[in-house]
Amino acid sequence: MRDNFFHTFVLFMTGQIPDQLSLGTLRWYTVVLYWLLFIGGITVAVINWRRDPKQRTGHHLGVFLMRFTMAGMWYLGTLWKLPWPVSPGFKFWLESTVKYSQFQIHADIMQGFLDAIVVVQPLVYLLEIYLTAALMLGFTVRLAGTLGALFTLNLLIGLYNDPTEWPWTYVGVICAHGMFVAACAGRSLGVDNLLRLQRLPVLADNALSARAYALAS
């Protein structure tokens, strides 16, 4: 039987894809967390649509849909990186970046990460959870886009010589995140736009926090 995107999506949302089933009862944690982020992202978009007439355009809707979809990609990556015990899949891909890296200095760095995998895996998991939440909710998207592009650049360098990989896949992901940064994508039906509308004291123009948040959003 041929599978399709819609069927796979339903399986994912109900904890039935292989990466979730391999987690046992812990898969329900992944299901609940994604549902919370999914509903949260939709809710934020609806609030923006109702409160800000300027958001009611094809441009903002299109940007929202693209970052919302990309958030799903990052979340799928977290399913085999849950901390403790060390994930065989994560170890395999770290080993691959050592083996297939374009540059020896990069391979040496990745070998250091591999040696410290017990610490590295939880950090990567948390990073990918942040990227998922930031893109789905539209919060600090310029920061998330920058980190996502750099993270993917590392994969591009590390897996460039892997005969089973197509490097342009990573180039495409980098470009997508670069566009999120350039377009301030969180200001399209996201939390970043709602915070601009609220004009909170902590985000006053003369506050250090405002300048920091402006860079991140």
* Other CB atoms within 10 A of residue 54 CB: 10
Distant-in-sequence, close-in-space partners of 155: CB < 8 Å, separation ≥ 6: 97, 170
- Going by the DSSP 8-state scheme, the letter that residue 2 receives in this structure is -
pLDDT at 213: 76
Domain that holds residue 54: 5-216
Contact 213, 140 (CB under 8 A): yes
Q: Radius of gyration over alpha carbons of the chain, in Å?
A: 19
pLDDT at 217: 83
Q: What is the pLDDT of residues 119-160, one digit of tens each?
A: 999 999 999 999 999 999 999 999 999 999 999 999 999 999
pLDDT at 16: 94
Whole-number Å distance between alpha carbons of 149 and 163: 22
Q: What is the pLDDT of residues 172-191, one digit of tens each?
A: 999 999 999 999 999 999 99
User: What pTM, to 2 d.p., does this model score?
Assistant: 0.93
Whole-number Å distance between alpha carbons of 52 and 30: 33
Quote the number of domains for the chain.
1
Quick one: how far is CA 185 from the chain centroid? 13
pLDDT along the chain (217 residues), means of 10: 87 93 93 98 97 96 97 96 90 96 97 96 97 98 97 97 95 97 96 82 63 78
pLDDT at 197: 77
User: Tokens 């549902």 correspond to what residue?
Assistant: 35
86: left (phi over 0), alpha (psi -120 to 50) or beta: beta
